[in-house]
């Protein structure tokens, strides 16, 4: 199962190619990660 951190790392690796898209995705993943920090039980999903 993919973890948020792995997805963020993959996103950062592709940044030079799709910087504008990735900035939007990064904001979404940041919100998801922040939500998981508030709700640790959802981390297993």
C-alpha to C-alpha distance for 10 and 15, rounded to whole angstroms = 9
**Structural domain harbouring 22:** 4-44
- The whole-number average pLDDT for the span 8-27 is 67
- The whole-number average pLDDT for the span 11-40 is 68
Given this model, what pLDDT does residue 45 score?
A: 46
Given this model, what pLDDT does residue 33 score?
A: 76
Given this model, what pLDDT does residue 38 score?
A: 67
Nearest CA among 22, 20, 19, 42 for reference residue 30: 22
- The whole-number average pLDDT for the span 11-38 is 69
Nearest CA among 35, 38, 34, 44 for reference residue 3: 44
40, pLDDT greater than 70: no
Backbone angles phi, psi at 27, to 5 degrees: -65, -40
Number of domains, the chain: 1
Rounded to the nearest 10 degrees, how much is the dihedral formed by the CA atoms of 30, 34, 39, 41? 50
C-alpha to C-alpha distance for 43 and 4, rounded to whole angstroms = 10
């Amino acid at each position: 199962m993919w973890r948020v951190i792995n997805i963020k790392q993959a996103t950062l690796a592709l940044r030079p190619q799709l910087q504008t898209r990735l900035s939007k995705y990064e904001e979404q993943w940041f919100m998801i990660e922040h939500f998981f920090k508030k709700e640790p039980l959802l981390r297993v999903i």
